[in-house]
C-alpha cells in the first residue's frame, strides 16, 4: 500500500516538477560550493606562501648582515616563538645535506626533497610543496630557497589554520545545504502547485462535463499566460463540441422525422388495405404506394451516402469534358413545364461556349437541385433565371448563377442551409428532406469549386457556383504563342 501511494505520488506532474526544481538547485549549489572551496584553498595557500616568502626574505637579509651563526640562533627562536609543531627551519648545503635545523622531533617524517633542491639549482627560486603526513589531519606547506652563497633554506609551515577555515566552510555548507534543500523542495512544491492550478481547473471541468452538462467551462484569469491560453483553447473546443452535439441531435431528429413520415404512410396503407374489401386492385395500389415510399427512403439514404463519400474524398466519379451551356439548356428545358404549371417564368442565358471537367450526372444533379429549390420557393407570378458567366481570362473560374424572386433566406441561415437535413421551413410542411444543398456543396467542392448564396427574406435568392474551366492543352499552347503583325 505504501509503494502504491509512492507510485501515485511519483506519477504526479507537481512532484516531478518539484524534483526537477530541487535537483537543479542542488546541482547549482554544489557547483558553487566546489568553486568557492577551490577559491578558499587558493587564497589560503597564497597567503601561506606569502608568509613563507616573507620569512625567507627576513632570513636572507639576516644572513647577509649578521652571518650564519646569528641566522641559526634566529631560526631556533622563530620556531619556538611560532611553536615547534607549527614551524620548522633547516639550513642546507647545495648538495642537500642539512648542517643546521630547529627541533625536528615533530617533523622527522619530512625529509629534504632532492628534486626540489635540483629545481633551485636550475634557477627556480623559490620552490613550494604541500606534503601530507600519515595519521595527521593537517598538511604542511614547505618552501625551498637560496638565501646565500652555497646556502639553502627549507621552511615548513603547518596548514592547521587553513584546515580549520576549510573545515568550518564545509560544516557551514552542509548545514546550509540541508536547510536550503528542504526550503527549495517546499518552494518548488508551492510553485509547481501554483503553476498547475489552471491545469487542475481544466481537469476538474473535464471531469464534470457529461452529456447533459456540456455548458461547463473552465474559468480564466485573463493573465494571458500558458495555462490561461490552455483554458481558453479548451473552452473553445467545448464550444465546438457543444455545437456538434447539438447539430447531431438536431440532425437525428430530422432523420427520425423524415423516416417516420414514409414509414407511417406505408403502415397506414397496409392497415387500410387489410381492413378493406381485400380486392386485388387495393393490394396493387398498396404495393405501388409502398414502392413509391421505399423509393423516397432509398433516395434519401443514397443521397446521404453520396454526400459522405464526396466530403471524405472517396467517391468514385467519372470525369469527362462537359459542355456546360448544353447541360444548362437541357436542364431549363426539363424544368420549363414545371415552372409554367406554377405560373413562373424560367429564363436561361448560357453566354459564351465553355467547358468543364467533371462527373456529368453529379453536375446535372447539382443544377437540378438548385432549379428545383428556386421553383419550389418562388410564388407566382415570379421569375427564375439561370446565367452562365464564362469569365474574361483563362484563369478565371466559370460561374453559374441561379436567381429567383422567391421568399428568400434569412441572413442567419445562409451558412446553415448547406448542412444536412437543415430546412428553413422548421415545420417541414413542404416536400423535401434538406439534403439538396448539402449534396450540391459537396459535389462542387469535389470539383475544386465553391458555392455561395446572396439572399434576404422576401427579396429572392441568388446562388452562385464557381468551378474551374477546362482548358485544352492545344488551346493553352496557342494562347502562349506570340502575336504576329
The domains found in the chain, sorted by start residue, are 2-165 (3.30.450.20), 226-312 (1.10.287), 319-472 (3.30.565.10)
More confident residue, 309 or 80: 80
What is the longest distance spanned by two Cα atoms in the chain?
A: 156
Cβ partners under 8 Å of residue 69, min gap 6: none
Q: Give the range among 54-58, 266-270, 350-354, 451-455 with minimum mean pLDDT.
A: 350-354
The pLDDT, as a whole number, for residue 346 is 92
Cβ partners under 8 Å of residue 384, min gap 6: 339, 344, 345, 346, 347, 371, 374, 375, 378, 402, 403, 404, 405
Residue 398 CB neighbours (<10 A): 20
Q: Taking a C-beta distance cutoff of 8 angstroms, is the pair 132, 121 a contact? A: no
Q: Taking a C-beta distance cutoff of 8 angstroms, is the pair 230, 198 a contact? A: yes
Beta bridge partners of 464: 401, 452
Please give the share of the chain, as a percent, with pLDDT higher than 70. 87
Residue 345 φ/ψ, nearest 5 degrees: -105, 120
- pLDDT (average), residues 348-354: 77
Residue 138 φ/ψ, nearest 5 degrees: -95, 135
For residue 261, name the pLDDT band (cuts at 50, 70, 90): confident
Cβ partners under 8 Å of residue 455, min gap 6: 408, 409, 411, 414, 461, 462
User: Which of 127, 125, 130, 79 shows the shortest CA–CA distance to 106?
Assistant: 79
The pLDDT, as a whole number, for residue 482 is 37
- pLDDT (average), residues 235-261: 74
Of how many residues is the chain composed?
485
Q: How far is CA 210 from the centre of its chain?
A: 26
Q: How far is CA 190 from the centre of its chain?
A: 26
Helices (H), 377-435: none
Residue 169 CB neighbours (<10 A): 15
Angstrom distances, CA of residue 24 to CA of 27, 30, 425: 5, 10, 67
- pLDDT (average), residues 244-256: 71
Q: Which three cell numbers stand for residue 481?
A: 504563342
pLDDT in tens, 1-41: 545 555 655 556 667 777 777 778 778 888 888 888 888 88
The pLDDT, as a whole number, for residue 485 is 24
Q: Which residue has the cell 516538477?
A: 17
Report the C-alpha gap between 68 and 301 in whole angstroms: 123
Q: Which three cell numbers stand for residue 327?
A: 447541360
The pLDDT, as a whole number, for residue 82 is 83
Q: What is the mean pLDDT of the chain?
A: 81
Residue 238 CB neighbours (<10 A): 18
Angstrom distances, CA of residue 235 to CA of 200, 206, 212, 247, 450: 14, 10, 16, 18, 31
User: 462: cis peptide before it, omega within 30°?
Assistant: no
Q: With 70 as the cut, is the pLDDT of residue 176 above it? A: yes
The pLDDT, as a whole number, for residue 211 is 57
Beta bridge partners of 146: 152
pLDDT in tens, 312-327: 777 677 889 999 988 9
Q: Give the range among 50-59, 296-305, 376-385 with minimum mean pLDDT.
A: 296-305
Q: Which residue has the cell 592547521?
A: 160
Q: Which three cell numbers stand for residue 456?
A: 434576404
For residue 451, name the pLDDT band (cuts at 50, 70, 90): very high
Q: Which three cell numbers stand for residue 88?
A: 620548522
- pLDDT (average), residues 300-317: 77
Report the C-alpha gap between 468 and 306 in whole angstroms: 22
- pLDDT (average), residues 83-111: 86
Q: Give the range among 68-82, 216-230, 444-458 with minimum mean pLDDT.
A: 216-230
- DSSP-derived pairing of the beta strands 344-349 and 382-389: parallel
Report the C-alpha gap between 48 and 118 in whole angstroms: 23
Q: Give the range among 24-33, 81-90, 447-456 with minimum mean pLDDT.
A: 24-33
Helices (H), 403-485: 436-446, 473-479
Residue 133 CB neighbours (<10 A): 14
- pLDDT (average), residues 429-440: 76
Report the C-alpha gap between 31 and 258 in whole angstroms: 76
| DSSP 8-state secondary structure symbol assigned to residue 182 | H
Beta bridge partners of 384: 346, 404
Please give the share of the chain, as a percent, with pLDDT higher than 90. 16
The pLDDT, as a whole number, for residue 254 is 67
Cβ partners under 8 Å of residue 84, min gap 6: 102, 103, 105, 106
Amino acid at each position: 500500500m505504501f509503494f502504491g501511494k509512492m507510485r501515485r505520488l511519483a506519477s504526479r506532474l507537481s512532484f516531478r516538477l518539484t524534483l526537477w526544481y530541487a535537483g537543479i538547485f542542488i546541482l547549482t549549489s554544489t557547483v558553487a560550493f566546489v568553486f568557492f572551496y577551490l577559491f578558499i584553498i587558493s587564497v589560503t595557500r597564497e597567503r601561506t606562501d606569502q608568509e613563507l616568502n616573507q620569512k625567507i626574505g627576513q632570513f636572507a637579509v639576516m644572513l647577509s648582515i649578521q652571518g650564519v651563526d646569528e641566522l641559526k640562533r634566529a631560526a631556533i627562536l622563530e620556531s619556538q616563538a611560532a611553536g615547534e609543531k607549527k614551524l620548522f627551519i633547516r639550513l642546507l648545503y647545495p648538495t642537500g645535506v642539512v648542517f643546521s635545523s630547529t627541533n625536528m622531533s615533530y617533523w622527522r617524517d619530512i625529509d629534504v626533497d632532492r628534486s626540489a633542491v635540483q629545481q633551485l639549482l636550475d634557477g627556480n627560486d623559490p620552490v613550494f610543496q604541500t606534503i601530507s603526513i600519515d595519521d595527521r589531519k593537517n598538511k604542511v606547506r614547505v618552501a625551498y630557497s637560496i638565501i646565500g652563497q652555497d646556502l639553502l633554506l627549507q621552511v615548513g609551515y603547518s596548514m592547521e589554520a587553513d584546515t580549520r577555515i576549510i573545515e568550518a566552510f564545509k560544516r557551514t555548507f552542509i548545514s546550509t545545504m540541508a536547510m536550503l534543500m528542504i526550503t527549495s523542495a517546499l518552494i518548488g512544491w508551492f510553485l509547481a502547485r501554483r503553476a498547475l492550478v489552471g491545469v487542475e481547473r481544466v481537469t476538474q471541468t473535464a471531469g464534470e462535463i457529461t452529456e447533459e452538462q456540456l455548458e461547463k467551462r473552465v474559468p480564466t484569469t485573463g493573465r494571458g499566460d500558458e495555462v490561461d491560453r490552455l483554458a481558453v483553447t479548451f473552452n473553445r473546443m467545448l464550444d465546438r463540441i457543444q455545437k456538434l452535439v447539438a447539430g447531431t441531435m438536431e440532425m437525428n431528429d430530422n432523420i427520425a422525422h423524415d423516416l417516420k413520415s414514409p414509414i407511417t404512410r406505408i403502415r397506414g396503407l397496409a392497415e387500410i388495405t387489410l381492413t378493406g374489401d381485400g380486392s386485388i386492385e387495393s393490394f396493387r395500389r398498396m404495393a405501388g404506394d409502398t414502392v413509391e415510399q421505399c423509393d423516397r427512403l432509398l433516395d434519401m439514404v443514397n443521397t446521404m451516402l453520396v454526400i459522405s463519400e464526396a466530403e471524405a474524398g472517396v467517391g468514385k466519379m467519372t470525369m469527362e469534358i462537359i459542355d456546360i451551356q448544353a447541360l444548362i439548356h437541357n436542364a431549363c428545358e426539363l424544368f420549363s413545364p414545371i415552372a409554367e404549371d406554377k405560373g413562373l417564368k424560367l429564363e436561361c442565358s448560357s453566354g459564351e461556349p465553355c467547358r468543364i471537367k467533371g462527373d456529368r450526372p453529379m453536375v446535372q444533379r447539382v443544377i437540378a437541385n438548385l432549379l428545383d429549390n428556386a421553383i419550389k420557393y418562388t410564388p407566382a407570378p415570379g421569375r427564375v433565371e439561370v446565367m452562365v458567366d464564362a469569365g474574361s481570362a483563362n484563369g478565371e473560374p466559370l460561374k453559374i448563377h441561379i436567381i429567383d424572386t422567391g421568399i428568400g433566406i434569412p441572413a442567419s441561415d445562409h451558412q446553415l442551409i448547406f448542412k444536412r437535413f437543415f430546412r428553413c421551413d422548421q415545420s417541414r410542411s413542404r416536400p423535401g428532406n434538406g439534403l439538396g444543398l448539402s449534396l450540391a456543396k459537396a459535389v462542387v467542392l469535389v470539383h475544386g469549386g465553391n458555392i455561395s448564396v446572396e439572399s434576404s427574406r422576401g427579396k429572392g435568392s441568388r446562388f452562385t457556383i464557381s468551378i474551374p474551366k477546362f482548358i485544352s492543352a492545344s488551346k493553352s499552347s496557342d494562347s502562349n504563342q506570340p502575336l504576329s503583325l
